[in-house]
Amino acid sequence: MDEMQINSFKQRLLQLQADLMSLSDTSNDAAKTVGLDQSAIGRLSRMDAMRAQGMAIETKGRREHQLLSIKGALGRIADGDFGVCLTCDEDIDIRRLDVDPSYTQCILCADKE
């Protein structure tokens, strides 16, 4: 993989990281605890709020996991190990990295898991 391709992946990762962090800032309110005061909110509305809170918490966890993957990919770029499978040390196909530049395994090793 040449330097231009690596820089392109780095820019994509940095943009995705910025987008995810921005989403994280705007969606923190959705994950807040739902109040149980029945005089302030009806039972069905409270159930809907609790369901929305659960989805927001799950989304937040996925976003945090994705941010860690991006951080790892940026670290591999800095170390010169980007695009190399962490399992078998073979190059990861560039088409796979085009789908998600934070992938750490080639398709063969990923299929084994």
Segment 38-78, tens digit of pLDDT: 555 566 677 787 888 888 889 989 999 999 999 999 999 99
- Amino acid letter at 44? L
Q: What is the dihedral of CA 27, 29, 33, 35, to 10 degrees?
A: -140
DSSP 113: -
Tell me the residue length of the chain: 113
- Residue ranges per structural domain of the chain: 3-82
CA distances from 91 to 82, 83, 87, 111 (A): 9, 6, 11, 15
Structure confidence at residue 26 (pLDDT):
66
Per-residue confidence at 27, pLDDT binned at 50, 70, 90? low
3-state secondary structure of 78: helix
Its pTM stands at 0.76
What is the arithmetic mean of pLDDT over 90-113? 96
